[in-house]
Structure 1
Amino acid sequence: MHPVLKTVLQRLGLGLLTLFVVSVLIFASLEMLPGGFAQAILGQGATPETVAAFNHQLGLDRPATVRYFEWIWNVLHGDFGYSYAGAGGSIKQSVSGIIAPRLYNTFFLAIMTAIIAVPLALFLGIMAALYRNSLYDRAVNAVTLTTIATPEFFIAYLLMFFFAIKLKWFPSLSTVSDSTSIGEHMYRAALPAITLTLVIVAHMMRMTRAALINLLASPYMEMARLKGVSQRDAIVQHALPNAWAPIATVVAFNLAYLVVGVVVVEVVFVYPGIGQLMVDSVSSRNMPVVQACALIFAATYILLNLSADIVSIITNPRLLHPK
């Protein structure tokens, strides 16, 4: 078996094992929370008999291990269970049906941000490496350090204050619905996207700059300069292709953050994504929805990190051309 294929399969197996462990931790953590799902749904005035009957109806009186394996088996078939809302759990809704539009909104915001942030970060990083220690490099480093040191919710409130309240360019609340057009959706999601862009561009730009500067000190780069290759061509044609592995890793990490770390930004702008849904579900003790959201977050993060590992593997010449 080729070393690249073998290593990729090993990473895939490790990713599946990690996801299994995370699913166990999610289920166990929610099981250990004080109180009970039935008590939260039925209210404090529910009698013990009513709570017991409700638990029996939902199967919550069975052993935790049985419920876990039943839950994970259903998840593998695309069934996240049912959510019970309303007084006495009178409203029964499919968790998949609740999550689907919210997941679309979160991915819409993540893709919109990535389209802006990734090319911008690569451009700023390449230019900073090209003009190392220049005024431009120092200015970009100062701005990115400031952005990294500032919490995203503070950036969000600053953008909301200036662009929504003072200038009135964008709405302060990013409320969208199924009937919202693509253009209107992009307009309403502009401030959350700008907030996330400012947060992740700093990390990706600094990693791109560091990777390129590290390669510029390599012997083959010195040889290229001795042959008369310009610094711009040396970076674009020789350094950048060899820097894809660390750059791809940091890009994947930040793309994972766009999906997993949007909770604060979605809450600030009241954006109806999966992060906002998870916060609301925790507040109302809607455990089936919390479990599904947490598992989706974990699977997304593991998948993107696994993709970064695979990119690093296939761009490794020692694996592509084994002796």
Structure 2
Amino acid sequence: MQSVFRIILQRLALGLLTLFVVSIVIFTAVNMLPGDFAQAILGQGATPDAVEAIRRDLGLDQPPITRYFQWLGSAVQGDLGNSFAQANFASFVGADSGVRTTVAQQIAPRFANTMFLAAVTACIAVPVSLVLGILAALFRNSVFDRATNVTTLTSISSPEFFLAYVLILFLAVLNPVLPSLSNIFEGMSFGERLEKTLLPALTLTLVVTAHMMRMTRAAIINLLASPYIEMARLKGMSPMRVIVKHALPNALAPIINVVALNLAYLITGVVVVEVVFVYPGIGQLFVDSVKIRDIPVVQACCLIFAAAYILLNLTADIMSILSNPRLRHPK
């Protein structure tokens, strides 16, 4: 067990180092965006003094290295800063400035919406992909297997926005059974919220199910030639029982990895789907903030995407290690 804990600690240390490097990349990339926020707020007719006053108030006049460590130190303490776009600049025209909206206040409801979308998608995609993968392995080279492979390859090869528009065409335009826009808001019932979320969830399901199903199929087929599987067959076990009882438990490590990677995608890769369906999640907020150059919100969204992806990858690694009997019970 000591070797297991050592490997887990190594993974955790590597994850923290990766997040630190990613934070540097995020800060550098965001601050290289063209344009100037202060100039954009005041317009082309702004005086240099007014522009400089806003830059000074927002801390944009400080050196990049100073701003980076201030941002990183605040982020570690849970303070993501204040939104530039929601700031009240009335003080620069002689009035009192109001209370600014924090980045956390903006992100919290959007992140909750994205998590709800990811949860709905996962509840559909994970069981469907496991069942399809098991059936495809059980009926290898059959019509069902070939049809499933063609369908999943088509889904993998198609961009998310194309799948989204196809579903909108068939399920919202030609057969209006689901709304084409996911304009959810606070106070909606669970049923209304689920109905508005179902179409983007189905789009994401088509994307992630293909990867998970193919990995499940490949992992199980790879184990079907093992000696203990042959022994189970000779004992008279049914093919389904052999797969469920013997093949699937030993194929968990690669399946867990691909499931975790796709769950990470559901949080970090939803930008396109949220924009298509105008879903008020963190991906939509990210795009809107890039348009208006709201630097603190853009940095926070990128950091959350990176942290979620790294965390789910670490979870997959740890679960794979714990599910490996050779590591849990070394000779």
Query: TM-score category by the smaller chain?
Result: over 0.9
1:217-296 equivalences in 2 (<5 Å): 217-296=225-304
| Structure 2 Cα separation of the partners of residues 41 and 2 of structure 1 | 57
SS of residue in 1 equivalent to 2:107: helix
TM-aligned CA distance change 1:85 to 1:130, over 3 Å: same
**Partners of 1:42 and 1:89 within 8 A in 2:** no
Residue type of the alignment partner of 2:190: I
C-alpha contact 2:86 2:101 (8 A) present in aligned 1: no
Q: CA RMSD in A?
A: 1.5
What letter is aligned with 1:54? I
Cα drift, residue 33 of structure 1: 2.1
Secondary structure of 2:317's match?
A: helix
Give the Å deviation of 1:109.
0.3
Q: What count of residue pairs does the alignment treat as equivalent?
A: 323
Is the CA contact (8 Å cut-off) linking 1:41 and 1:88 kept in structure 2?
no
Q: For structure 1, which segment, 214-223 or 234-243, has the greater mean C-alpha deviation from structure 2 after superposition?
A: 214-223
Q: Identity over the aligned pairs, expressed in percent?
A: 63
1:24 is the counterpart of 2:39: no
Please state if 1:181 is matched with 2:192: no
String of CA shifts for 1:208-237, please: whole Å, max 9, x gaps: 000000011222222322333332221111
Aligned amino acid, residue 302 of structure 2: A
Per-residue deviation, 1:87: 9.2
Q: Deviations over 1:285-312 (max 9, x none)?
A: 1111100100000000000111111111
Report the TM-score, using the length of structure 1 for normalisation: 0.96
Distance in structure 2 (CA, Å) of the matches to 1:82 and 1:65: 19
- The Cα of 1:74 is off from its aligned counterpart by 1.0
Instruction: Tell me which residue corresponds to 1:202.
Output: 210
Q: Do the aligned residues in 2 keep the contact of 1:41 with 1:86 (CA within 8 Å)?
A: no
CA distance in 2, matches of 1:139, 1:167: 25
Matched, 1:14 2:10: no
Task: State the shift of 1:88 in Å.
Answer: 7.4
Task: Return closer, same or farther for 1:87/1:68 CA change in 2, 3 Å cut-off.
Answer: closer
Once residues 219 and 176 of structure 1 are traced to their aligned partners in structure 2, the CA distance between those partners, rounded to angstroms, is 53
User: Quick check: 1:42–1:87 contact (8 Å CA) kept in 2?
Assistant: no
Query: Could you say which residue in structure 2 is the equivalent of 1:49?
Result: 49
Say which SS state the counterpart of residue 272 (structure 1) adopts. Answer: coil
Q: Write the distance in 1 (CA, Å) between the matches of 2:149 and 2:85.
A: 49
Distance 2:172 2:157 in 1: 23
Inter-partner Cα distance in structure 1 for 2:253 and 2:41:
49
Answer whether contact 2:84 2:295 (CA < 8 A) is retained: no
SS in 1 for 2:286: helix
CA shift at 1:70, angstroms?
1.2
Q: In 1, Cα distance between the equivalents of 2:24 and 2:232? A: 53
How far, CA to CA, are the matches of 2:281 and 2:191 in structure 1?
18
Any conservation in 2 of the 1:221–1:234 contact (CA below 8 Å)? yes
161-170 vs 111-120, which moves further = 161-170
1:192: which partner in 2?
Answer: 200
* Aligned-partner Cα distance in 2 for 1:87–1:307: 38
Alpha-carbon distance in structure 2 between the residues aligned to 1:253 and 1:41: 40
